[in-house]
């Protein structure tokens, strides 16, 4: 019947391709869409510790939660705007510092040599360790007088053994160094995949023409990694900005104000100040901030094929 139908000019029935994405769409709606709607709705309600059990019928607060969240301070005396600056500085510094480390690590295992698989596995060790374990190890490593970092820097006559990495302004740098060590293998994987996608014949032709390693790196490798760099910069910055585990576990209750990132601030507003409406408004503000680099990256990716079509 199928062949006869085709021979008679009847087209085979095709199911809409949209049904293939239905399970993923349903999964996204349940796990992301519904909680997002609830957070947005509660951001307009006055919810405290007294009426949290009946939050659906809480008084309507309009935009007061947003103004209070942006201008007020949490129990640590840190405002949301201060936390935004801390998060931006933390995420950008971690991304900028991780990228060259990841790039040179990817170059070191690009060519085949004995032991390359072992070295690739060693590079992934920081990435496979759970985040809370890294935070606890960093807490021990940066401990005053007894930590490995203080002892090493004191042995090299760089700083004293009393640097106090876990309190004061130095805590921000301890958190940033730990974040760089934890996340650079992620960028390394992206760059290594980009290097593997570069055609070998281009590099071989450049070598035959007399191009040195720097010329091949500058004129062949780097231009073809622009898209990978953009993806790595966007994803790693989003991860750093929303990282909650590292600053929360690493510093415990003796939390310096220099480590109060925006997710930490939201936590203190909700579970220390018990102002859940303001915490929801701050969370919506956090989502809006995270959407900006994601939208910029998608816009750049969308423009790239159009520009190629224009040049073609």
pLDDT (tens place) for every residue of the chain, 312 residues total? 444 444 455 555 565 667 777 888 888 888 888 988 999 999 999 888 888 888 888 889 888 888 888 888 887 888 888 999 999 999 999 999 999 999 999 999 988 888 899 999 999 999 899 999 999 999 999 988 888 888 888 888 888 878 889 888 899 999 999 999 999 999 999 999 888 888 888 877 878 877 788 888 888 888 888 888 888 888 888 889 989 999 999 997 778 899 999 999 999 988 888 889 999 999 998 888 888 777 777 776 665 555 555 444
Residue 85 tokens read as: 């600056």
**Mean pLDDT over the full length of the chain:** 84
How far apart CA 41 and CA 33 sit, in angstroms, is 12
Residues 16-311: name the CATH superfamily: MetI-like (1.10.3720.10)
Whether 276 contacts 55, CB under 8 Å = yes
3-state SS class at 73: strand
3-state SS class at 181: helix
Secondary-structure breakdown of the chain: helix, strand, coil percentages, each rounded to the nearest 5: 70, 0, 25
Share of the chain above pLDDT 70, in %: 90
Q: Strand (E) positions, 219-278?
A: none
């Amino acid at each position: 019947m199928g062949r006869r139908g085709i021979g008679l000019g009847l087209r085979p029935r095709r199911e809409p391709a949209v049904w293939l994405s239905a399970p993923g769409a349903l999964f996204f709606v349940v796990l992301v869409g519904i909680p997002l709607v609830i957070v947005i709705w509660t951001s307009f309600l006055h919810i405290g510790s007294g009426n949290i059990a009946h939050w659906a019928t809480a008084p309507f607060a309009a935009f007061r939660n947003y103004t209070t969240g942006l201008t007020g301070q949490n129990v640590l005396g840190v405002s949301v705007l201060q936390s935004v600056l801390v998060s931006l500085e933390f995420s950008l510094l971690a991304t900028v510092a991780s990228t060259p480390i990841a790039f040179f690590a990817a170059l070191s295992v690009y060519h085949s040599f004995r032991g390359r698989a072992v070295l690739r596995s060693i590079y992934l060790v920081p990435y496979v360790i759970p985040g809370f374990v890294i935070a606890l190890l960093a807490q021990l490593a940066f401990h005053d007088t007894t930590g490995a970092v203080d002892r090493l820097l004191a042995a090299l006559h760089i700083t004293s053994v009393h640097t106090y990495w876990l309190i004061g302004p130095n805590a921000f740098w301890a958190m940033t160094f730990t974040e760089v060590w934890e996340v650079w293998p992620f960028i390394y994987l992206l760059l290594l995949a980009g290097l593997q996608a570069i055609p070998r014949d281009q590099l071989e032709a450049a070598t035959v023409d007399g191009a040195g390693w720097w010329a091949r790196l500058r004129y062949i490798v780097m231009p073809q990694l622009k898209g990978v760099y953009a993806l790595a910069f966007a994803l790693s910055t989003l991860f750093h900005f929303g990282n909650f585990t590292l600053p929360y576990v690493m510093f415990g209750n003796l939390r310096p104000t220099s480590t109060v990132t925006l997710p930490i601030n939201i936590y203190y507003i909700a579970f220390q100040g018990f102002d859940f409406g303001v915490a929801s408004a701050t969370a919506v503000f956090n989502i809006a901030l995270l959407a900006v680099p994601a939208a910029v990256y998608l816009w750049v990716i969308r423009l790239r094929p159009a520009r190629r079509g224009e040049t073609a």
